[in-house]
């Protein structure tokens, strides 16, 4: 099993108070609940498999993976990376996590499947999860179980619609409520500011008999993610609203309470290449309204004891050693799209991950069986050792910093000779000012540059990628002995792209063929820490 390491925002064991962000890694579109003394949070991972990750915590600041709502979203060309199709920036988006009458529910939606999905289970960690799906696609929906037994979804962007579901949330109730409850969320910014990001990411709560709807939105005149809040005495309205928070682009999420009566909001903030990262925001109640933050700001230090700071359970090392009965891969791993399970395996004595090519591809972004973990801030470094004696001519294998503007260090087999290469994608884009810039890309990059090549005369090589999220730069290294590291190629300026990938950078292990299938490589380990190579 992997060694789960303590990395991230505050690795010092002497830390006394929790700090924001609570997870300095890409965990966007958070939806949180409390069941007894345990907190659960679902998130978005788009095109990754398994999908809709669910984390758990006992203190709201230290989180670990608990499971996923599904193993594979759908079997089609997009999720299987076949016939030139892909699901980058798609897959499943913002989820809604709920607990009702002893059952956990997760709702989400997908343009890739063309459906709204509801997953349910009695055991969030062991499953099994039961899926219901229906049309149409209800954008950024919030699942809601009311006190009278009726079940609803709210959805939309700008215009918010309420629709009634069947009692088991498996579909839309024929003849049930179906009405617009808010015509334009962004009127909260003023009539001259309604042209920005329409209020979406709905999360609905009921507190002391009132309904509270959280959305994320932005005014027309500036890019500034804000929390929009509406309340009503009846679920169908009328609703009154206000801008509840505007601070450092921290928004989208909702309320959660503690067993001792404290209130918080779980939200996320855009933070460049590392992605959209969760923040915990104190909440107090005034005149029936939840007031977010301290003097309108999200505090950097929280009034919560934190005896174990870091990212335990979210990222971690893996020596690929497995005991009998253990899963092949721990929950910290996700595949880039649906994996081809016939062409990867965990081998023992010694433990290693073998990836065998099952087809010919011309681009690392379109190869199957790229195994990924999140990068994390403010800095993260990943390394591996790969044994390449089984490569065929034309094969490429290595360690990637994966996003639309990617870079990797790896081994290339060409004309019977091996070489260590650093490769990056080239994008003709303009990067705006500030780290919160989200860049729109209409297609995958098809311009790839091999920046540097070094002959390799042995069958084992060590690879490393450093990600510095203060500068949003990734650097690439190799070693012949695992001790002395040599930088190769150029730094990659990491850019968070919106229409392609729509997630923070991932570290990934890959192997693909450009000429003939059947070659293989063995990854001996995967290790991460928060120390950049000097």
Query: Does 93 lie in the same domain as 202?
Result: yes
Query: Does 440 lie in the same domain as 350?
Result: yes
CA 385 to chain CA mean position, Å:
26
User: Any idea what the CATH number is for the domain that residue 423 is in?
Assistant: 2.60.120.200
Identify the pLDDT of residue 435.
Answer: 43
Query: Does 90 lie in the same domain as 193?
Result: yes
Smallest CA-to-CA distance from 165 within 155, 157, 156 is with: 155
CA distance 295 to 276: 23
Task: Specify whether the backbone of 513 is left (phi greater than 0), alpha (psi in -120 to 50) or beta.
Answer: beta
Evaluate whether 503 touches 373 at the Cβ level (below 8 Å): no
Q: Is residue 200 part of a domain?
A: yes
Query: In terms of residue numbers, what domain contains 458?
Result: 334-529
Token pair, residue 377, equals 């801030």
**Domain-terminating residue out of 305, 323, 355:** 305
Residue partners of 233: CB distance under 8 A and separation at least 6: 209, 210, 211
**CA angle at residue 439 from 433 to 440, to 5 degrees?**
150
**Domain-terminating residue out of 286, 305, 324:** 305
Smallest CA-to-CA distance from 95 within 111, 124, 116 is with: 116
Q: Is residue 7 part of a domain?
A: no
Identify the pLDDT of residue 6.
Answer: 41
CA 111 to chain CA mean position, Å:
17
Identify the pLDDT of residue 447.
Answer: 83
Distance in Å from the first CA to the final CA of the chain: 29
**CA angle at residue 382 from 380 to 384, to 5 degrees?**
170
Question: Cα–Cα distances in Å, from 480 out to 348, 381, 384, 388, 484?
Answer: 23, 18, 12, 13, 8
Q: Phi/psi of residue 527, each to 5°?
A: -135, 140
Query: Is cis: bond before 71, omega within 30 of 0?
Result: no
Evaluate whether 262 touches 253 at the Cβ level (below 8 Å): no
Token pair, residue 467, equals 């990600």
Q: Is residue 12 part of a domain?
A: no
Query: Does 111 lie in the same domain as 60?
Result: yes
Q: Is residue 534 part of a domain?
A: no
Q: Is residue 3 part of a domain?
A: no
Query: Does 201 lie in the same domain as 145?
Result: yes
Evaluate whether 422 touches 461 at the Cβ level (below 8 Å): no
Residue partners of 325: CB distance under 8 A and separation at least 6: none
User: H-helix or E-strand containing 491?
Assistant: none
pTM: predicted TM-score of the whole model, two decimal places: 0.94
Q: Is residue 38 part of a domain?
A: yes
Per-residue pLDDT of the chain (534 residues; tens, 9 = 90+): 444 444 433 333 345 899 999 999 999 999 999 999 999 999 999 999 999 999 999 999 999 999 999 999 999 999 999 999 999 999 999 999 999 999 999 999 999 999 999 999 999 999 999 999 999 999 999 999 999 999 999 999 999 999 999 999 999 999 999 999 999 999 999 999 998 999 999 999 999 999 999 999 999 999 899 999 999 999 999 999 999 999 999 999 999 999 999 999 999 999 999 999 999 999 999 999 999 999 999 999 999 999 877 777 899 999 999 999 999 999 999 999 999 999 999 999 999 999 999 999 989 999 999 999 999 999 999 999 999 999 999 999 999 999 999 999 999 999 999 999 999 997 654 444 444 444 444 444 458 999 999 999 999 999 999 999 999 999 999 999 999 999 999 999 999 988 789 999 999 999 999 999 999 999 999 999 999 998
Query: Does 269 lie in the same domain as 229?
Result: yes
CA distance 179 to 177: 6
Query: Does 392 lie in the same domain as 291?
Result: no
Token pair, residue 339, equals 């994996």
Bridge-based pairing state of the strands 395-402 and 407-414: antiparallel
Query: Does 502 lie in the same domain as 398?
Result: yes
Token pair, residue 252, equals 């989208």
CA distance 63 to 311: 7
User: Any idea what the CATH number is for the domain that residue 218 is in?
Assistant: 2.115.10.20
Identify the pLDDT of residue 16.
Answer: 85
CA distance 532 to 11: 15
DSSP string, 167-213: TTSSSBPTT--EEEEES-GGGGG-GGGTTSSPPEEEEEEEETTEEEE
Largest CA distance in the chain: 74
Evaluate whether 250 touches 269 at the Cβ level (below 8 Å): yes
CA 327 to chain CA mean position, Å:
22
Query: Does 342 lie in the same domain as 299?
Result: no
* DSSP letter (8 states) at residue 222: S
CA distance 103 to 378: 37
Evaluate whether 289 touches 241 at the Cβ level (below 8 Å): no
Query: Does 362 lie in the same domain as 266?
Result: no
CA distance 391 to 522: 10
Q: Is residue 186 part of a domain?
A: yes
Query: Does 398 lie in the same domain as 355?
Result: yes
* DSSP letter (8 states) at residue 489: S
User: H-helix or E-strand containing 298?
Assistant: none
DSSP string, 24-35: -S---S-EEEEE
Half-sphere exposure of 171 (CA within 13 A, CB side): 6
DSSP string, 62-91: SEEEEEEEES-S--STTTTT-TT---TT-S
Q: Phi/psi of residue 489, each to 5°?
A: 70, -155
User: 343: helix, coil or strand?
Assistant: helix
How crowded is residue 313: how many other Cβ atoms within 10 Å of its Cβ?
A: 19
What are the strands of the beta sheet with 334-336, ordered from one edge? 48-49, 334-336, 371-374, 506-513, 395-402, 407-414, 417-425, 448-456
Identify the pLDDT of residue 9.
Answer: 39
Query: Does 381 lie in the same domain as 261?
Result: no
Q: Considering its fold, how many domains does the chain have in total? A: 2
Q: Is residue 1 part of a domain?
A: no
The single residue listed with the structure tokens 């490393």 is: 464
Q: Rounded to 10 degrees, what is the CA torsion of 510, 25, 501, 72? A: 70
């Amino acid at each position: 099993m992997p060694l789960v390491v303590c990395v991230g925002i505050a690795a010092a064991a002497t830390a006394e108070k929790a700090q924001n962000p609570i997870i300095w890694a890409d965990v966007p579109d958070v939806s949180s609940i409390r069941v007894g003394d345990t907190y659960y949070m679902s998130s978005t991972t788009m095109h990754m498999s398994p999908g809709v990750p669910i984390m758990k915590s006992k203190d709201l600041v230290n989180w670990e993976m608990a499971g996923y709502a599904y193993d594979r979203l759908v079997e089609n060309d997009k999720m299987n990376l076949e016939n030139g199709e892909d699901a980058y920036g798609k897959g499943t988006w913002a989820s809604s996590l709920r607990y009702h009458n002893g059952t956990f529910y997760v709702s989400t939606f997908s343009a890739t499947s063309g459906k709204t999905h509801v997953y349910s289970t009695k055991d969030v960690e062991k499953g099994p999860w039961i899926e219901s799906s229906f049309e149409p696609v209800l954008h950024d929906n919030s699942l809601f179980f009311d006190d009278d037994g009726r079940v609803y979804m709210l959805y939309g962007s700008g215009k918010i619609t309420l629709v009634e579901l069947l009692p088991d949330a498996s579909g839309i109730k024929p003849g049930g409520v179906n009405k617009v409850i808010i015509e334009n969320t962004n009127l909260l910014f003023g009539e001259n500011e309604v042209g920005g990001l329409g209020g979406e990411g709905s999360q609905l709560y009921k507190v002391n008999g009132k309904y509270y709807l959280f959305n994320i939105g932005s005014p027309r005149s500036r890019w500034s993610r804000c929390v929009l809040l509406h309340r009503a005495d009846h679920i169908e309205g009328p609703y009154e609203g206000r801008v509840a928070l505007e601070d450092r682009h921290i928004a989208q999420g909702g309320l959660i309470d503690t067993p001792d009566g404290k209130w918080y909001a779980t939200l996320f903030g855009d933070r460049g290449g590392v992605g959209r990262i969760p923040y915990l925001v104190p909440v107090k109640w005034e005149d029936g309204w939840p007031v977010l933050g301290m003097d309108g700001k999200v505090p950097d230090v929280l009034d919560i004891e934190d005896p174990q700071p870091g990212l335990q359970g979210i990222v971690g090392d893996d020596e690929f050693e497995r005991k009998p009965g253990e899963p092949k891969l721990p929950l910290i791993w996700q595949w880039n799209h649906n994996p081809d399970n016939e062409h990867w395996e965990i081998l023992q004595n010694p433990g290693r991950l073998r990836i065998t090519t099952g087809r010919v591809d011309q681009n690392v972004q379109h190869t199957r069986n790229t195994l990924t973990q999140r990068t994390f801030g403010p800095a993260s470094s990943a390394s591996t050792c790969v044994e390449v004696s089984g490569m065929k001519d034309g094969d490429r294998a290595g360690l990637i910093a994966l996003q639309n503007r990617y870079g990797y260090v790896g081994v290339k087999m060409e004309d019977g000779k091996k070489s260590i290469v650093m490769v990056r994608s080239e994008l003709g884009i303009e990067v705006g000012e500030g780290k919160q810039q989200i860049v729109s890309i209409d297609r995958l990059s098809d311009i790839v540059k091999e920046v540097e090549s070094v002959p390799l005369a042995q069958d084992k090589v060590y690879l490393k990628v450093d990600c510095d999220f203060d500068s949003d730069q990734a650097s690439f290294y190799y070693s012949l002995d695992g001790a002395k590291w040599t930088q190769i190629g150029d730094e990659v300026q990491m850019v968070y792209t919106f229409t392609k990938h729509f997630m923070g950078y991932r570290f990934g292990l890959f192997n693909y063929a450009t000429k003939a299938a059947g070659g293989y490589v063995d990854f001996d380990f995967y290790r991460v820490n928060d120390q950049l190579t000097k």
